[in-house]
Structure 1
Amino acid sequence: MDEHTGDRGAGREAEPDHPGEPIVGRETELARLFRAVDPMPADPVLMLAGEVGSGKSALLEHAVRRAAAGGARVLRAEGRESESSLAYSALHQLLRPVPAEVDALPERQRAALRDAFGEGPSASGPDLMLVGVAVLSLLSDMGEHQPMLVVLDDAQWFDRASLDALSFVARRLEGEPVTMLVGARGGDHVPGFDRNVPTLTLEPLDNAAAGQLLDLQPESPTGRTRSRILDQAGGNPLALVELARTASAQDPPAGLPAAGPLPVADHLERIFAARLSSLPASTTRALLLLAAMDSADSAIAVPAGLPPAEDPAWLPARQSGLVRRTGPDIRFRHPLVRSAVYHAASWGAQREAHLALAETLRDEPDRRAWHLAAACAHPDAAVSAELERTAGRARRRGGHAAAAQALRRAADLAPLREDSARLLVEAAAAAVFTGDIAWVEELVAAARTRTDDVALLATAAVQAGRLAVLTVRHTVVFSRLAAAAEQLAASRPAAALDLLSGAAVVRFYSGEDTQRHRIQEVLRRLPANASYAGLRTWVATVSDPFDGRARLVSSLPRLAAEAEDRPERLTAVGIMAWLLDETPQAVRAFDEAFDRWEAQGALPEGLGGAVAWAYVERGRWEQARAACARVTAVGRAAGLDHAVACAATVEATVLAFQGDASSARTRAEDALTQVDPLESRSVAVYARRALGAAAAAEGAYETAYDQLRMLFTADGTPTHYHACYPALADLAAAAVRCGRREEAVAIVERSASALADNASPRLRALISRARGLLADPEDAEPHFRAALADPVLEYWPFERAQTLLDLAEWLRRRRRVAEARGPLTEALEVFRRLGARPWIERARAESRAAGLDVTDAAPDALAGLSPQQQQIVRLAARGLTNREIGEKLFLSPRTVSSHLYRSFPKLGITARSQLRDLIEGTLATAAHQE
């Protein structure tokens, strides 16, 4: 790996050889930490937040000692500001003490970690999701032997790639013998850990505790000096200790800061800097070299000229409380000491230190490049090029934040303005994948100040727009994208179409009809060009799939053929096919794309939820939930609430179909809290559909109708131009059962009239089913038959099975029992294959009433399992190992094993080998329908 760890001792499992600091006034917080590291903690993850010097590290050290005394194994990583630009440096630091355990991982997981650390042969970089699974598996495996404690201190300085992997793990520790403690500065943003993570905040010490801490100092201050210290420290433990040390070392205590509102961190840094003036020159030089280093590893320390830990040069610094010895290394007592030492030095001394370090790092080009950059006072083309190469290596390992940081610095050092602007645009493109839209916009704005190049500025606008469409700011984002597209329509039509394609996605999410008109206006201004045909079709399909649907459908085979070797374009074709209700073609495109494309952890593309929805409609619910898991993990890591909300609505729908109404409601309500329903009508509609399905699964049809009625305005107009129509049949089914037939008829007919000849076969079938449900009994049959007439409707198995059940119920009530048995048998078979428990029960009850001998076939035993347990059992029945199942579902092998252990008694089996026979019939049916 090109990036070594931070302080060597931070990554080791050994205890430091310095005594623990006394804990005063933190008894409650310490007790909470002890509960966290004791067996069976309430929360597997705990964030410890506090300002500089509040005692986070000391408390974490006590927790480590408590855990170790209880038999836990401890892995630690400590954030370093200088390493925040080195991809996976924090994760490498954490796992560095356990190379044998890493080597024992399955090949794909081991390779993913090696690629992340720059040790593997992969040219394309690691699968970022697989990196997370690998870390989760490793910790879980180690936990089989003894409890695990993972301590992440100063996490606000962790590199983004490490944070993404570790937050992925943190969300999956429930039930694992692993506890994670995260220390971070209060108020700092720690991606992945600052939402829904239990947080223990360290407040300032009260006067009594502050006084007690002063009394414990070697020379406890008294009188006016004591009062000044208490006033200046503001309850900060480190400030109290260091101010007391300063006061005792001077008579009178002139080193105390003057009274005033100076921040505690600034107070402390001045105190540490003041101690430097009395140190010998050899000590000062050693301290500066240590401060300039991004690692204290002896492998580079000696060649760089850093004295060994036993050298007399360190003694004055240790006596002044600036450093301490930890095993074979010297470490600063606090990050603020490092900062004070570095900034107190002259520019010439700083430059000399960085050049000395760069000379020793010729075999580690990334770290060398950053030291060379730190030694540059003026633009330097060679160093800029080194940083650009560093960015390329970081990008290949999935370190998008590290790449963006390197490119940003490379831009600063580029002598030519056009090169600087180009590098800033490239930095923005890399930053897109962090999800930090403010950073992307900052980089784009900087690029605009350095160039007038229309093409480059167009590229910058496209990069900003790519991320903007994934946020919840739909109204603002649409206006910005549309305006930029209008400006570029004449001079840069390709860039204008790129921007317009993003605007179309925003239009889908928002459902705002005025946006469609503006998109059409810009399209009319763009010149016709065959090379832009694919983008034009995308914009037209996404913004209005019913306008000229036949023409749009006819273009799909050509676009699919053109995209054959381009997975990202295949995905776009799949999304268009899904929007046009060509679900079979959508699923084929997605399958082909994923066969050719090892996902690199990129952000969810615009309308990425279409993948999961297509799998739901096609009856491949396991794949739908796996797609949701990936979008959720990536979206949460990037802070993209809208992407997470989209995935939540799909998962909620599947949970409702499978009969887990409570979990479905939780997921749907989560989605509604993450977006503004007026800004994100598509998410609101999908969430209401899931809530309606959950209510219907429980037989609460009045509630189901109320939820689905919200999809339409008072006069029956759909609130979203695409997402509402598939709910028409469910609305009708609920209306019939709660006495709202007349109102539902008006809504269905209004939608049917609006769609007219542009309705897809699927929507025509759903409307026919709705009409059959709402019709007078003597008039219903032709509608049900029409809903089942087209053979292509078999590609929507759940919807077709619902219609079969409706027809069978109607036939039986008309005393045509013999005719009802065929549809009932077929419907029950589909419901069983899908694990749709509420509909299984309905179909079984109706089958018994029709005189069918309905036995509890073996596959029906799955109905007693949770949806996730069903997924795991089906994969295990196919012969997948626990590790392989974990990779697919983003779970640890231990969690998979636990689910199987709990599932076997419910299935009436005792061994894994019995699973295949148990559901062989179900799998055969699924394979036949595929």
Structure 2
Amino acid sequence: MTTAAGRPIVGRETETRLLRQRLEAVGDGPVVTGLVGEPGAGKTALLDDIAAVARSRGFAVLVARGSAAEANLPFASLHQLLRPLMHKVDQLPGLQGRALRAAFGMGEADDVTPLFVSLATLELLVDHAVAAPVLVCLDDLDQMDRPSVDALGFVVRRLQGERVAVVCTSRPPVTELGDRSTDAWVALDGLDVEASTELLRSRSTRLSPALEQRVVREAGGSPLALIEFATALETGRQTWTDLDSDLPMTTRLETAFAVRAGELDHAGRAIVDVAAVDDGSSIGDVLAAATIVHGAEVGAESLAAPQALRLLTISGDRCLIASPLIGSALRQTMSASRRRQAHAALAEVLAADRDRAMWHRAAAVDGRDEEVAADLERAAADARRRGAVATAAAWLDRAAALSPDPAARASRLLGSAELAFELGRFDQVEEVKARVAGTELSVRDRSRLTWLEGAFHDGSSSEPTEVSRLVGLARRATADHDVDLALQLLFGAARRVWWRDPGHEVRGEIVRAVREVPVPPGDPRILAAMGLAESFDLSPTVIVQLGQWPSDAGGRPELAGLLGIAAFCVGEFERADTFLTLGIQELRAQGRLSLLAEALAIRSWTEVNLGIFEPARSAEEAVRLGDETGQAVWAATARVAVAVADGVAGRWDPRHALLAEAEHTAVRTPNASSSLLAGVQQARGVGELGADRPEQAYGELRRIFVADDPAFQRVQQLWSVGYLADAAVRTGRRDDARELLEASVRLAGPTPASGHAIALEYAAAVLADDASAEAAFADALVGAARSYPWHRARLQLAQGSWLRRQRRAVESREPLRVARGTFAALGAATWAARADQELRAAGEPGWHPEADPREDLSAQEAQIAELAAQGLSNREIGQRLFLSHRTVGSHLYRIFPKLGITSRSQLAGALARD
């Protein structure tokens, strides 16, 4: 039997043993152990027990407790947890330290970004764990504010291998902290009859056998219910016999708590009423608010009675209700006017704490109040600037509830929904849409609602009528001089075209509406919308305008992402890579992880089209962040890019798990199915070519060109036509491929973008007849592909193979030899092997390439090694990759022996390739 606070924890031996085992194995296995159960199941008792055990074993123990009163106060729970470590904030990197102080109201609000708050938390915890292992105790996780939970979730996903363990509690349903790889949840069921009887007898010895059986039965295995029944019956505060009729357990318990609170004098009752509506305030604040409620001075001596009745506990300088169930019971038995009085008193006392004061002021309102609603709206804007998006959404929702005017109410609800979209909360957006459906909306708010209907997955529908409706709303916004809304709607419409083409007429309609918006033609929003909507017809115009922008986006990195999207869509991949890289740097600095995942996913396909197949550069991180931020489409996009890299590197599997996941996403989000499925087919085609299965490769790639195939996608035909030509030559399908090439040439127009020219020139050379092939290869080698090793090597392999088939073996060896070396340097093992086979057939002895030590590195290890080789410190690498500096150090410790080196200074040489 185990103990907590000197009393036995009856019936929880299995759970106690598990928690102690997890404590002993800190640094291995799951980081989070969660206890989920109904109120009164004994979760807090187990948490207190393991905290006591941890302290006895030399752990540093950090504790935070969620409460309904602080659930909408940004970073309130995180502040509780980190309060003992705040003296170490000065040791953090500048951005992280400033962000953490601002999050806790100790610095300028403009400095807050959620990413840097999360990184600061991670650094504080892992640094604290150097001297002693750390146990983080999070009680009532489901009651904690969302920004704190998000930050802690970010942290636990990066604690693998660190000496930090986390134990948390939650009511059902489970409030996950990390994910399936980090969390292990244990359900606390009710105690069995034997354990219930033992617990009851430990608290009361005067019950008759019949009454004892009734109590055990009525408690339903709830430890708290057993203890409270025993206390009430033992003290005689509640008369209950075995003849009484059944009552719901919660009602009975609430009655018991209410009876106990009724024994307090007026000052004591004022204290528990104030504490119940703001659980966790300082003792001084509670006494000051109680004084206002009571109408006379309430001193510290009045705390004794609520403590004696076990309604209140004191923890340090904080005044806490003894359990969530007691708090719930006290609030339910208070009259509405008493609750408003307590909230109003707290709003007055907490005036220096803007967030908490504002929330209490809103809770003190009786009915609707525009003045308070407007203040809440301003507070929401402030919270949004500080990175507390979830809090801002909640406050806008509350502001809507207090709004007397239905139109203002709807506008605030839509604002809440727009923030929920940023958070990826589909259900919340759907709920708001349903609530405003019957409201008379302004034209602007009607447009906002329409945009929300297609916000998730880049549009709920690409049906021509739906896209045209968006365009119509954008035109109205233009007429009303609301340029930002007009461009937002048009960008949304154009994105739907990218994912699934609604036809030439609708694409033209978008372009005409874009040109009507009174902004300069080089505006990045205009270029991005045009590129998405009409990648071919408008590519010359977009390319010219992109050429007016310098590589640093004119010193405005916030615009670089849109410029990168525009360049990517029209096929200017090198320029797209430059702009996207600049945008990614800015997004990292701002901590905007959702947009960062999108930018990385797009850049991963820019790299694929440039012939850069290093998943660690963009794709792997895009998958991780896409999953972490709930952006399934972008995560799937990056997964396909990883699969392409695997196909090039010789790690191809026709049943590639990443492609299966991407296809599953396409099925669940049909609006994105066309583009995603086209990417899947391209990945399969490249993989089958690398595996020397040209028949299968042709079948996979051909689907992208079939108009009624789900994988049909106009732009991606240009990306894959070169690979299709390869497969066609080797399977005797030249005539079919030539027809597809001619169609692709017409699509690209007379002045194709550089990226498209690479594919078209390659396909033209490969598919040329013997009379014109030599000239076609010569032109292609000095054409668009000349600066790109992957594409040039493919041309040289194709040229050498053609020369050998023409019985010009000696001439074939030089291009084949160069191609083989380039493929080997790029890590394209199977392609290098194919070039080697051609060389053998041309009469040159085979070779035995040296193994590349980087092949033993994981994608994240390769990324860390590259950054360390560039001279970045562990802290700088950690901030770049959202890891702790100690995690970076652990990775480097494993990287050195894999590369056969012993020091950081040797990294650059080990990673260098011929």
Report the TM range for the smaller structure's normalisation: 0.7 to 0.9
Aligned equivalents of 1:399, 1:663: Cα separation in 2: 44
The Cα of 1:253 is off from its aligned counterpart by 0.9
Q: Deviations over 1:525-563 (max 9, x none)?
A: 888344386666544432342345434434444588997
What letter is aligned with 2:858? S
Structure 1 counterpart SS, 2:880? helix
Verify the 8 A CA contact 2:568 2:576 in the aligned structure 1.
yes
Task: Tell me, yes or no, if structure 1 residue 408 matches structure 2 residue 377.
Answer: no
What letter is aligned with 2:417? A
The Cα of 1:575 is off from its aligned counterpart by 0.7
Task: Tell me, yes or no, if structure 1 residue 639 matches structure 2 residue 630.
Answer: yes
Who is 2:325 aligned against? Answer: 336
Who is 1:297 aligned against? Answer: 282
What letter is aligned with 1:173? L
The Cα of 1:581 is off from its aligned counterpart by 0.7
Task: Tell me, yes or no, if structure 1 residue 684 matches structure 2 residue 669.
Answer: no
Structure 1 counterpart SS, 2:716? coil
1:689-704 map, 5 Å: 689-690=682-683, 693=686
Which moved further from structure 2: 52-61 or 781-790? 781-790
Who is 1:753 aligned against? Answer: 743
Question: How has the CA–CA distance of structure 1 residues 57 and 888 changed in structure 2, closer, same or farther, with 3 Å as cutoff?
Answer: same
Aligned equivalents of 1:662, 1:119: Cα separation in 2: 54
Verify the 8 A CA contact 1:50 1:186 in the aligned structure 2.
yes
Verify the 8 A CA contact 2:228 2:253 in the aligned structure 1.
yes
- Which of 93, 102, 106 matches 2:93? 106
Task: Tell me, yes or no, if structure 1 residue 126 matches structure 2 residue 112.
Answer: yes
Structure 2 counterpart SS, 1:793? coil
Structure 1 counterpart SS, 2:170? strand
Aligned equivalents of 1:694, 1:854: Cα separation in 2: 23
1:522-533 map, 5 Å: 528-531=516-519
- Which of 150, 160, 164 matches 2:150? 164
Question: How has the CA–CA distance of structure 1 residues 651 and 461 changed in structure 2, closer, same or farther, with 3 Å as cutoff?
Answer: same
Question: How has the CA–CA distance of structure 1 residues 840 and 394 changed in structure 2, closer, same or farther, with 3 Å as cutoff?
Answer: farther
Who is 1:363 aligned against? Answer: 352
1:385-404 map, 5 Å: 385-404=374-393
Verify the 8 A CA contact 1:604 1:643 in the aligned structure 2.
no
Who is 2:456 aligned against? Answer: 468
Aligned equivalents of 1:446, 1:780: Cα separation in 2: 66
- Which of 202, 209, 219 matches 1:216? 202
The Cα of 1:582 is off from its aligned counterpart by 0.7
Verify the 8 A CA contact 1:405 1:427 in the aligned structure 2.
yes
Q: Deviations over 1:371-400 (max 9, x none)?
A: 211221144454334323322331122111
Who is 1:788 aligned against? Answer: 781
Who is 2:64 aligned against? Answer: 77
Aligned equivalents of 1:430, 1:673: Cα separation in 2: 27
- Which of 709, 713, 719 matches 1:720? 713
What letter is aligned with 2:221? G
Who is 2:446 aligned against? Answer: 457
Who is 1:116 aligned against? Answer: 103
What letter is aligned with 1:904? F
Question: How has the CA–CA distance of structure 1 residues 120 and 278 changed in structure 2, closer, same or farther, with 3 Å as cutoff?
Answer: closer
Question: How has the CA–CA distance of structure 1 residues 229 and 435 changed in structure 2, closer, same or farther, with 3 Å as cutoff?
Answer: same
Task: Tell me, yes or no, if structure 1 residue 862 matches structure 2 residue 847.
Answer: no
The Cα of 1:572 is off from its aligned counterpart by 1.8
Who is 1:13 aligned against? Answer: none
Aligned equivalents of 2:519, 2:786: Cα separation in 1: 36
Who is 1:613 aligned against? Answer: 605
Structure 1 counterpart SS, 2:366? coil
What letter is aligned with 1:468? F
Which moved further from structure 2: 129-138 or 412-421? 412-421
Question: How has the CA–CA distance of structure 1 residues 774 and 77 changed in structure 2, closer, same or farther, with 3 Å as cutoff?
Answer: farther
Structure 2 counterpart SS, 1:149? strand
Verify the 8 A CA contact 2:123 2:885 in the aligned structure 1.
yes
- Which of 881, 893, 904 matches 1:912? 904
Question: How has the CA–CA distance of structure 1 residues 525 and 101 changed in structure 2, closer, same or farther, with 3 Å as cutoff?
Answer: closer
Verify the 8 A CA contact 2:636 2:662 in the aligned structure 1.
yes
Aligned equivalents of 2:137, 2:804: Cα separation in 1: 64
Aligned equivalents of 1:33, 1:309: Cα separation in 2: 42
Who is 1:240 aligned against? Answer: 226
Aligned equivalents of 2:684, 2:254: Cα separation in 1: 55
Question: How has the CA–CA distance of structure 1 residues 820 and 70 changed in structure 2, closer, same or farther, with 3 Å as cutoff?
Answer: farther
The Cα of 1:474 is off from its aligned counterpart by 4.7
Who is 1:61 aligned against? Answer: 48
Question: How has the CA–CA distance of structure 1 residues 425 and 392 changed in structure 2, closer, same or farther, with 3 Å as cutoff?
Answer: same
Identical pairs, percent? 31
Q: Deviations over 1:614-670 (max 9, x none)?
A: 244446666x74655665565445433223323333344445545565899444444
Structure 1 counterpart SS, 2:81? helix
Aligned equivalents of 1:74, 1:267: Cα separation in 2: 36
Structure 2 residues not aligned, in runs of 5+:
none
- Which of 580, 586, 596 matches 1:590? 580
1:432-443 map, 5 Å: 432-443=421-432
Structure 2 counterpart SS, 1:135? helix
Verify the 8 A CA contact 1:729 1:770 in the aligned structure 2.
yes
The Cα of 1:879 is off from its aligned counterpart by 1.0
Verify the 8 A CA contact 2:471 2:509 in the aligned structure 1.
no
Aligned equivalents of 2:543, 2:643: Cα separation in 1: 30
Aligned equivalents of 2:359, 2:695: Cα separation in 1: 64
Verify the 8 A CA contact 1:735 1:744 in the aligned structure 2.
yes
What letter is aligned with 2:422? F
Using the size of structure 1 for normalisation, the TM-score is 0.83
Q: Deviations over 1:480-522 (max 9, x none)?
A: 665454456457565465334213323433x2x4466555456
What letter is aligned with 2:89? V
Aligned equivalents of 1:695, 1:37: Cα separation in 2: 48
- Which of 35, 38, 47 matches 2:34? 47
Structure 1 residues not aligned, in runs of 5+:
1-16, 923-930
Matched residue count: 892
- Which of 272, 278, 283 matches 2:257? 272
Verify the 8 A CA contact 1:192 1:636 in the aligned structure 2.
no
What letter is aligned with 1:290? A
Bigger relative contact order (CA 8 A; separation at least 6):
1
RMSD: 4.3
The Cα of 1:744 is off from its aligned counterpart by 8.2
Aligned equivalents of 1:41, 1:662: Cα separation in 2: 31
Aligned equivalents of 1:870, 1:232: Cα separation in 2: 60
Question: How has the CA–CA distance of structure 1 residues 488 and 700 changed in structure 2, closer, same or farther, with 3 Å as cutoff?
Answer: closer
Verify the 8 A CA contact 1:135 1:169 in the aligned structure 2.
yes
The Cα of 1:437 is off from its aligned counterpart by 2.9
Aligned equivalents of 1:236, 1:386: Cα separation in 2: 43
Who is 1:142 aligned against? Answer: 128
Verify the 8 A CA contact 2:369 2:403 in the aligned structure 1.
yes
Verify the 8 A CA contact 1:309 1:329 in the aligned structure 2.
no
Task: Tell me, yes or no, if structure 1 residue 506 matches structure 2 residue 506.
Answer: no
Q: Deviations over 1:199-246 (max 9, x none)?
A: 323333444444443343334755454444344333333333334434
Aligned equivalents of 2:655, 2:860: Cα separation in 1: 13
The Cα of 1:888 is off from its aligned counterpart by 1.7
Q: Deviations over 1:410-442 (max 9, x none)?
A: 344445555545444433333332221332344
Question: How has the CA–CA distance of structure 1 residues 887 and 798 changed in structure 2, closer, same or farther, with 3 Å as cutoff?
Answer: farther
Which moved further from structure 2: 248-257 or 909-918? 248-257
Who is 2:163 aligned against? Answer: 177
Question: How has the CA–CA distance of structure 1 residues 590 and 710 changed in structure 2, closer, same or farther, with 3 Å as cutoff?
Answer: same
Aligned equivalents of 1:479, 1:24: Cα separation in 2: 65
Who is 1:903 aligned against? Answer: 895
The Cα of 1:811 is off from its aligned counterpart by 4.5
The Cα of 1:919 is off from its aligned counterpart by 4.4
What letter is aligned with 1:882? N
The Cα of 1:287 is off from its aligned counterpart by 0.4
- Which of 7, 13, 25 matches 1:27? 13
- Which of 198, 206, 211 matches 2:184? 198
Q: Deviations over 1:861-902 (max 9, x none)?
A: 434433332222221111111121222222222232222222
Aligned equivalents of 2:862, 2:495: Cα separation in 1: 34
What letter is aligned with 1:78? R
What letter is aligned with 1:874? E
1:758-837 map, 5 Å: 758=748, 760=752, 761-770=754-763, 781=774, 784-790=777-783, 792-794=784-786, 796-811=788-803, 819=811, 823=815, 827=819, 831=823, 834-836=826-828
